[in-house]
Chains A and B, each alone.
Chain A
Amino acid sequence: MRRAVVLLALLALAGAGSARASEQHPTLSEVEKEVICPVCHETLDLSTSPIADRMRAFIRGRISAGDTKSQIKAKLVDQFGESVLAAPPKRGFNLLAWLLPLIGIVAGAVALGFLARRWSRERAGPGPLASSANGRAPLDPELERQLDEELARFDA
């Protein structure tokens, strides 16, 4: 157990270190995946439009100048607006894009849990003695009495 915790902590540290390195010294391909071409609306790594070429040249220039990934993205937003980002920024109205899926998952899980509980209660029913032989809901006593009478008459 302790080993697993240490391993997880090491993995988390390695991930954080790599994210910090990517932020401080990004490569062109890292930035390309996070930026949208304003003409063809694909990420820059997939786009071959002239403005995408121009944007790649701009990013290369900013990387050489020592800009961080956030600084480069901020400069692109300044030129093309926030729609240039592949993922919306985590603030203001855009925060909804990040929160709504999480809220949906949590609400779905709660609803599923609630329904599962209700189903299991219904299945358990009022007790094994009360349920009919075929496992279905028991008949109304009055109806059962009528049925017995009819069957007896039929047998006779």
Chain B
Amino acid sequence: MPRRVKIVLQATAVLVVALLVALLGWQVFRTDQGRALDSKVKNGQRPAAPTFTLDRLDGKGKVSLASLRGKAVILNFWASWCIPCKEESPRLQAFWEKNRDRGVVVLGIDAQDFDFDARRFVDRYGLSYPMLRDKHGSTLGHYGITGFPETWFVDRSGRLVGKHVAGPVSDAELERYVRLALQS
């Protein structure tokens, strides 16, 4: 085999392997990003909330997290098949109605779900806070979501101040984290 052809083949093989390693690294980085946020917040840091722009569940336009800068945002990840969400969603609705004048926004993010099931859920529980649909579940990895429901709290300058994981969030937790989010 001519020397030049041999070099080209070897270079191609090295390039392909490098590309595969880079892809693997990128995937691992993406997965770890959410977990890293969690530990940063637990250590008292306030990392920037991952940005996103998602379709509204009702199909009427899009909402970006950046557009809510200046408000305390309760990011609630949910799905219609999730049992604790049935208890939690009316609580979030009541909290939003009571606190929206203080600059508090509840943002529901429905993922891993049929959109028609999610809309039925929203109608059934009379939820009027903004609902977004994450069809591909891209925000789940960015926020390190491991199940439903999970809730992140974002301060006025777009930084994460707290996270609730297991089961429905309580009124006391909502009040505590929202106070933190409003302080910034």
User: Which residues from chain A sit less than 8 Å from chain B, CB to CB?
Assistant: 38-39, 50-51, 53-54, 58, 79-81, 83, 114
Contact = CB atoms under 8 A, between A and B. Distances in A.
B97 interface: no
Interface residues of B toward A: which range? 10 to 19
B116 to A, nearest CB: 9
A103 to B, nearest CB: 10
Interface string B102-135: 0000000000111101000000000000000001
B1 interface: yes
Given A38-B112, A39-B112, A80-B112, A50 B81 contact: yes
A39, A58, A81, A114, most chain B CB atoms within 10 A? A39
A38 to B, nearest CB: 4
Contacts of A58: 114
Contacts of B117: 54
Nearest to B135: A81
B114 A54 contact: yes
A51 B79 contact: yes
A79 B135 contact: yes
B131 to A, nearest CB: 16
B137 interface: yes
A4 B27 CA distance: 49
Which 3 A-B pairs give the minimum distances between C-beta atoms? A50-B81, A81-B136, A38-B112
A39 B114 CA distance: 13
Given A39-B112, A51-B113, A58-B114, A80 B79 contact: no
A132 B78 CA distance: 79
A36 to B, nearest CB: 11
Interface in B10-45: none
Contacts of A83: 136-137
A72 B112 CA distance: 17
Given A50-B81, A81-B137, 4 more contacts: A54-B81, A79-B115, A81-B136, A83-B136
Nearest to A75: B114
Contacts of B113: 51
27 contacts: A38-B112, A38-B137, A39-B112, A50-B81, A50-B82, A51-B79, A51-B81, A51-B112, A51-B113, A53-B81, A54-B81, A54-B114, A54-B117, A58-B114, A79-B114, A79-B115, A79-B135, A80-B112, A80-B135, A80-B136, A80-B137, A81-B135, A81-B136, A81-B137, A83-B136, A83-B137, A114-B1
Nearest to A83: B136
Contacts of A53: 81
A120 B135 CA distance: 58
A145 B112 CA distance: 82
Interface in B67-105: 79, 81-82
Interface in B128-168: 135-137
Contacts of B136: 80-81, 83
A53 B79 CA distance: 14
Nearest to B138: A81
Nearest to B136: A81
A83 B113 CA distance: 13
